[in-house]
Structure 1
Amino acid sequence: MDLYDTTTMQGLLRRDLHTPLYHQLRSFLRDQIQRGELRDGQQLPREEDLARRLGISRVTVRLALAELAEEGLLVRQRGRGTRVTHGRGRSPASNGPPPLRSPLCELIDNLDTLADNTQVRLLNCQRNVPPDPVRQAFGLDENDSLVNCVRVRSRHGQAFGYYTSWTRTTHPDFNAEQLARHSRIDLFRQCGLPIVRVEQKISAMRVDAVPAIYLQMQPGQAVMTLERRSFDRDGQLLDLLEIQYRPDQLRYQMRLDHTPDPMESSA
């Protein structure tokens, strides 16, 4: 979104919600930074310009920008304005207990089942230079690009998941036309992307402004967020997917079976 284009900013904030306007603006800008729409080092419009384009007070804009600066997403300098920096709003999880392990084939089967029983709307698919956190996760150089896709998944007409993915591929069939017709799992197979290991992390977060629109939620409400990293046999990251789920529309369930140790059986 062009922050300097008044027409694209109209209707961005909703006064009919209980969520404060500054919180809606903060959530929207954070989402734009983390998706790479606002690039590292990009200069933002002046407070008074943003306020005029959005039809809100300058104090409201100042509050939103100040909180993003506290998160490390913006740098504000007197006489030089406000610019995007780093985009490291979500820090890596600290060391904790070892992850639960499950066969990859079971996850793939579950994803196939999900794809067969839900509907997907593709909002965006293009090759972009990713924001810094994504670039660092893939180990890319500054100008390297990935395929960035944004989708919404629904069931019985109710949207329940907002999907943002970055994929390392140059295959010509990995494009918007194919993604509109096939699931990503099918397209991985078709394009020869050999996923042999998947790491998943689940956390509770607050939904940002843009996903909230599609999930029919209020910005700032709690969502279940899943981050899925898929690797090839050489340990290279092929795909990074983040999903924001409506907690009232999805239940994430795992089955853990204990396999007795042979020594236990003979004891």
Structure 2
Amino acid sequence: MLPDVDITLPRFQQVRLILRDRLRAGFYESGLPLPGERQLAEEFGVARVTVRSALARLQEEGLVARLRGKGTVPTVPTARHEGPPGAALGTSHGGGLLDNIVSMSLRTRVSVLEWRQMAAPARVSAALGLPPGAPVLKVVRVRKFKTHPIAYTEVFLPADLAVAIDRHTLQDTPMLVALEQHGVEVVSAEQTLGAAAADLNVARILRIAPGVPLLRVSRVASDRNGRPVQFLVGLYHPERYAYQMRLTRVGASTKVWIDADPSAQPAASDDV
């Protein structure tokens, strides 16, 4: 039975509404996976494909994340967790922009284009505080939201952290989460925003014309001891990704917006 829902709705929508209300009310323990598809199907008296469709819609809404090896986990605050809607749970970044980045990552899909160890270029070794030419891991990715490419990123990490960033893991797990699961607690980052023109390769990946201006993000993330553990350079689609910041005398608020339809309101946003 599906209680207290409009029975004229498709079954997967009925299941989605019930699970959405439970997630928002904190019914499920933060950081722990939801019951499996089979268990939910038995509870609601529906087919597993119905549950799977409901979970897919909840994932699109940013309410859950489906992680390899962990199942489906909540990505919204529960009654025991204070934070903005959509903030990732089970992380320790303190509800700031890093948490927002993790939350955004959970609502998108990533394809790994390159994963290799190499000698660090000068700018990379300087950013990571390494000797010139020190070995680093380079990861190149394209991130999509609802099949639309929104970002092209190149990320570099010290070679000793390569074991934490398995190529296949990155298909389902945000890099900051993978580092944390390896015992690396990222607590701060220095970030610079600018502009860059799309070259032929990036234009092809983001499906735009060469030379189009892109939002360029350069970020160095550090652990609790102040060690730089990640250097990222990202190029973001100008019509599908935006930062919004509120500046005040006593603090600030930042939003990351993702929009697959430039004519619509932002499809995802988080206060941090």
Equivalent runs, 1:145-224 vs 2, <5 Å: 145-171=135-161, 172-224=163-215
Tell me, in whole angstroms, the C-alpha distance in 1 between the residues paired with 2:94 and 2:248: 15
The residue number in structure 2 matching 1:109 is: 99
In structure 1, runs of 5+ residues without a counterpart are: 1-102, 261-267
AA aligned opposite 2:236: Y
- In structure 2, do the counterparts of structure 1 residues 195 and 143 end up closer, same or farther at CA, with 3 Å as the change threshold? same
Q: State the secondary structure of the residue aligned to 2:215.
A: strand
C-alpha offsets along residues 39-82 of structure 1, whole Å, 9 cap, x if unaligned? Answer: xxxxxxxxxxxxxxxxxxxxxxxxxxxxxxxxxxxxxxxxxxxx
Work out whether 1:230 is the aligned partner of 2:187. Answer: no
Is the 1:104–1:197 contact (alpha carbons within 8 Å) kept by the matching residues of 2? no
The residue number in structure 1 matching 2:242 is: 251
In structure 2, runs of 5+ residues without a counterpart are: 1-92, 252-272
Work out whether 1:136 is the aligned partner of 2:122. Answer: no
How far did residue 169 of structure 1 move?
4.6
The residue number in structure 2 matching 1:34 is: none
By percentage of residues, which structure has more strand?
A: 2
Tell me, in whole angstroms, the C-alpha distance in 2 between the residues paired with 1:210 and 1:240: 21
- In structure 2, do the counterparts of structure 1 residues 104 and 129 end up closer, same or farther at CA, with 3 Å as the change threshold? farther
C-alpha offsets along residues 194-251 of structure 1, whole Å, 9 cap, x if unaligned? Answer: 2222111000111122111100122221001011111123332111001101111112
AA aligned opposite 2:140: V
Tell me, in whole angstroms, the C-alpha distance in 2 between the residues paired with 1:136 and 1:108: 22
AA aligned opposite 2:148: Q
- Percent identical among aligned pairs is 25
Q: Which moved more, 1:166-175 or 1:210-219?
A: 166-175
C-alpha offsets along residues 143-190 of structure 1, whole Å, 9 cap, x if unaligned? Answer: 421111000011111101001100125242322122123111210111
The residue number in structure 2 matching 1:55 is: none
The residue number in structure 2 matching 1:99 is: none
Is the 2:117–2:159 contact (alpha carbons within 8 Å) kept by the matching residues of 1? no
Q: Relative contact order (C-alpha < 8 Å, sep 6+): which is higher? A: 1
